[in-house]
Chains A and B, each alone.
Chain A
Amino acid sequence: METADGGRRGTQRAERRRRAARRAPMAAAAAGPGGGGGGAPRYSLLAEIGRGAYGVVYEAVSGRSGARLAVKRIRCDAPENVELALAEFWALTSLRRQHPNVVRFEECVLQRHGLGQRMSHGNKRSQLYLRLVETSLKGERILGYAEEPCYLWFVMEFCEGGDLNQYVLSRRPDPATNKSFMLQLTSAIAFLHKNHIVHRDLKPDNILITEKSGTPVLKVADFGLSKVCAGLTARGKEGGNNNKNVNVNKYWLSSACGSDFYMAPEVWEGHYTAKADIFALGIIIWAMIERITFIDAETKKELLGTYIKQGTEIVPVGEALLENPKMELHIPQKRRTSMSEGIKQLLKDMLAANPQDRPDAFELETRMDQVTCAA
């Protein structure tokens, strides 16, 4: 376990994603969105479960069904926050079908003056929604919003098991669980990429766990930095799948984001495709199998993640590969780790410096099946 030089490496965007440790329950009286009508609130907030500069996540109870839910509240005043919130909304709503390993999205509520309205992405009839679009387009602060900001609330499935860091690090190593997690994560990413969504911020903090069914089920969450790779025409026909030929592996995205340790070399340069998700997954799986961790300098949290040692410093693998694309990765890193040749090779391929040398999510599914069966 090493300590990350988080001050230098922490990116602005990454900073806002960090899920803080659990805190004491908040006053249950805090009214959720949609509770302005005088009747029973749509959601009652129970406790704060995470916080960043970008938003706060609460555990909540549905007023109708009594179901436990996670509600993420994003303050929409600063333009970048608005755009990130709308991008997350877009990603969540473009997942029309569900996947067992992707956190289930219930609804989005736009709230101002204590009143909430259920929102659909791209709703041109809502004045409030259009103002948010305008804020993003112009990059301006919305006037008057400082006093009475509006909020976007994302209502999602609640995962009681915490995140992948907490789960893995609080238990003894278990090869069977590791294999199951590798398959689940691969399946989630393949599903996202099939739906033209590049997550862009895959890391153990954003992988949640639920054990409601008895066995641990992973849920990929936090689509705040994700990108929907559909052309303008893709939304034209409702329900029509006319964007089948969109290949996310060839869809170049710009602007660097994501947490440093999981960032592929090309992400450091700001241009990348869905293959960056494959790289991040490679780092996560490698760290999970070998339990390689570092301490985040800012939060002092122990996080799963592999890195390269350069003198007394630790450097993210992606950054090191950017400097030296021919660098040989030592997988496994620890002598005691037993790892099959198939997994070694797969991890090396996932972490290839050149994104074209990495398997895409569909190839990954096949190979992951093979190596987990064989091992």
Chain B
Amino acid sequence: MKTRSTPEPTLVLELDGTLVCSSVLAGRLRDAAATFTASFQGDAYEVHLKLRPHVQRFLESLSKTYEISVFTTAKQDYAEKVLDVLDPKRKLIRHCLSQRDCLCARGCYWKDLSLLSRDLAKTVALDHAIQGFPSQAANWIPVPRWWGDPRDEELLHLIPLLGQLCQADDMRTEIRRRFPLRRLLAED
């Protein structure tokens, strides 16, 4: 349990495009790290999953300083199966919020970080699209969407940066200072 005087910083992560990529299209993803079935409307679909390079190191290293949560627009069942691969012992990721925890407007799903009931000054969220957190854009660090490139080093670069960030009194000020332009570029 965290204490009142030293709130643990919170790291909120999207799955697809940020930590993993997956496809139900056969042959779309070669060398999948894992394959599982997801059920949808009475049918079972094979999902081929790939892990972003350095994701294990990223999670293991940052779970020491952050309380890590997944907040995804994906369905709960699908998210749980991805977590079975990413964190089979459930030691790194504490909570998993999914599509049913999202707000739905204009047919799209949006995430509201306040659902986590954590101090927003101590919360940082990674996602490839800003649409993830419309009301908490200040907490958002855009991460280029990963499509399966094995040479990707984005997560590796983020480890020291997130390490420094958790020392800030208000992470939002620090995020604004460090990413003045990226925010504009990352929209996809």
Instruction: Give chain A's interface residues, CB within 8 Å of chain B.
Output: 12, 53-54, 77-81, 86-87, 90, 121-122, 124, 127, 130-131, 133-134, 136-141, 143, 228, 230-232, 234-235, 254-255
Chain A, Cβ-Cβ closest to B23: A134
Among B102-110, B148-156, B168-176, the one that faces the other chain is B102-110
Count A-B contacts at CB 8 Å.
83
**Measured between alpha carbons, how far is A137 from B76 in the docked complex, in Å?**
9
Q: Are A122 and B41 in contact, CB atoms less than 8 angstroms apart? A: yes
Among B42-50, B54-62, B85-93, the one that faces the other chain is B42-50
Q: Are A90 and B75 in contact, CB atoms less than 8 angstroms apart? A: no
Taking a contact as CB atoms closer than 8 A, the residue among A78, A137, A255 that contacts B106 in the complex is: A78
Give the chain B neighbours of A137 by CB distance below 8 A: 24, 38, 40, 45, 47, 74-75, 78
Give the chain A neighbours of B31 by CB distance below 8 A: none
**Measured between alpha carbons, how far is A232 from B74 in the docked complex, in Å?**
20
**Measured between alpha carbons, how far is A236 from B42 in the docked complex, in Å?**
9
Q: Are B99 and A139 in contact, CB atoms less than 8 angstroms apart? A: yes
Q: Identify 11 residue pairs between A and B in the complex whose beta-carbon atoms are under 8 Å apart, listed by A's number.
A: A79-B108, A80-B107, A124-B43, A124-B45, A130-B24, A136-B40, A139-B72, A139-B109, A140-B73, A232-B42, A232-B44
Give the chain B neighbours of A140 by CB distance below 8 A: 16-17, 73-74
Give the chain B neighbours of A53 by CB distance below 8 A: 106-107
**Measured between alpha carbons, how far is A90 from B43 in the docked complex, in Å?**
11
Chain B, Cβ-Cβ closest to A137: B78
Q: Which of A53, A130, A234 has the most CB of B within 10 A?
A: A130
Instruction: Give chain B's interface residues, CB within 8 Å of chain A.
Output: 16-17, 22-25, 38-45, 47, 72-75, 78, 99-100, 102, 104-109, 131, 188
**Measured between alpha carbons, how far is A140 from B16 in the docked complex, in Å?**
9
Q: Which 8 interchain pairs have the tightest Cβ spacing?
A: A78-B107, A139-B73, A81-B107, A80-B107, A122-B43, A139-B109, A138-B74, A139-B99
Chain B, Cβ-Cβ closest to A227: B41
Give the chain A neighbours of B107 by CB distance below 8 A: 53-54, 77-81
Q: Are B25 and A12 in contact, CB atoms less than 8 angstroms apart? A: no
**Measured between alpha carbons, how far is A154 from B73 in the docked complex, in Å?**
27
Chain A, Cβ-Cβ closest to B78: A137
Q: Are B108 and A141 in contact, CB atoms less than 8 angstroms apart? A: yes
**Measured between alpha carbons, how far is A212 from B97 in the docked complex, in Å?**
51
Chain B, Cβ-Cβ closest to A134: B24
